[in-house]
């Protein structure tokens, strides 16, 4: 196994976990060092520890989404649906089944229209004769 294959294998196995651990570490450092506002918001229950946890959580979620997007991009995948039912990622190299069906239906419709035009042209040429 070449060095490049070893690195790719390690990254495939441990890369995402490393990115998530790094995101957690960054969130922890930011939450511990964030400057507290003079008037802590009511959302944080006006408590410094809760405020720090909220800031750290927001940082972690943002970095986690960035890590997930990066890991998906390495596999030629991306988020294709984001909604109340959750998040779905699909391979970008393959068209979803609904698009394949739609493309086939358009081809059939085009063939039928061509056949109708041919029939109309034949009738017009018969009338002209």
pLDDT average, residue stretch 7-33: 86
pTM of the model: 0.59
Same domain, 72 and 23: yes
Does residue 12 have a pLDDT over 80? no
**Could you tell me which residue, 115 or 1, shows the higher pLDDT?**
115
Same domain, 38 and 64: yes
Q: What is the pLDDT of residues 36-56, one digit of tens each?
A: 888 877 777 778 888 888 999
62 plus 81 within the same structural domain: yes
Residues 105 and 64 occupy one common structural domain: no
Pairwise CA distance, residues 51 & 34, whole Å: 9
Q: Do 104 and 81 sit in the same domain of this protein? A: no
Residue 94's H or E segment, with its range, is none
Q: Which structural domain, as residue segments, surrounds residue 99?
A: 95-129
Q: Are residues 63 and 103 in the same domain?
A: no
Q: 66 and 99 share a domain? A: no
Residues 100 and 74 in one domain: no
């Amino acid at each position: 196994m070449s060095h490049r294959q070893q690195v790719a294998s390690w990254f495939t196995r441990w890369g995402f976990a490393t990115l998530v651990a790094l995101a957690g570490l960054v969130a922890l450092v930011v939450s511990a060092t964030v400057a507290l506002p003079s008037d802590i918001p009511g959302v944080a229950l006006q408590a410094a520890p809760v405020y720090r946890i909220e800031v750290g959580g927001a940082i972690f979620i943002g970095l986690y989404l960035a890590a997930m997007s990066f890991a998906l991009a390495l596999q030629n995948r991306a988020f294709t649906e984001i909604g109340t039912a959750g998040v779905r990622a699909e391979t970008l190299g393959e068209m979803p089944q609904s698009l394949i069906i739609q493309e086939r239906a358009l081809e059939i419709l085009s063939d039928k229209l061509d056949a109708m035009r041919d029939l109309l042209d034949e009738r017009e040429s018969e009338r002209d004769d």
